[in-house]
Amino acid sequence: MPKYELDRVFQALADTTRRSMVERLVRGPASVSDLARPLDMSLPAVMQHLQVLEACGLVRSGKTGRVRTCHIEPEVLRAAEEWITRQRTSWERSLDRLGDYLTEDPQATADQEPENRSTS
């Protein structure tokens, strides 16, 4: 999952309407009008949201007769989840290091954190 893809996934999730569509789809496949029914907007608007969800791979759909059936693609959801998890665990690890620093011999953790000792 390349960087720019994550842009699109998070962008897709950054909208209440689209998240509610995802919330519906994780419970099982649905047609476009199933998705549209609880939403207070025109069908074309729903279609556009759907396109955003498809463009980032979060949702797939196929047409049978005149009905388009949509379902989520959980791996993409997982990719976004993983990015966040990685950050959170990284933060927890650096908290631990801080704990070590505060209780241990000062020399042991000498040139770790600051990363920029001025540019001069």
**Contacts with DNA, residue ranges (CB under 7 A):** 11, 14-15, 17, 31-33, 36, 40-45, 47-49, 52, 63-68, 118-120
- Closer residue to DNA in complex, CB, 47/77: 47
Indicate which of a copy of itself, DNA, none lies near residue 47 (CB less than 5 to 8 Å, by partner kind): DNA
* Phi-psi label, residue 115: left if phi above 0, alpha if psi -120 to 50, beta otherwise: left
Which residues, numbered 40-99, are part of the site for a copy of itself (CB under 8 A)?
A: 72, 74, 77-78, 80-81, 83-85, 87-88, 90-92, 94, 98
**Alpha helices (H) in 14-67, listed in sequence order:** 16-25, 32-36, 43-55
- In sequence order, what are the residues at sequence separation of 6 or more whose Cβ sits closer than 8 angstroms to the Cβ of residue 21? 35, 39, 46, 49, 50, 53, 59
- 100 is a site residue for a copy of itself (CB under 8 A): no
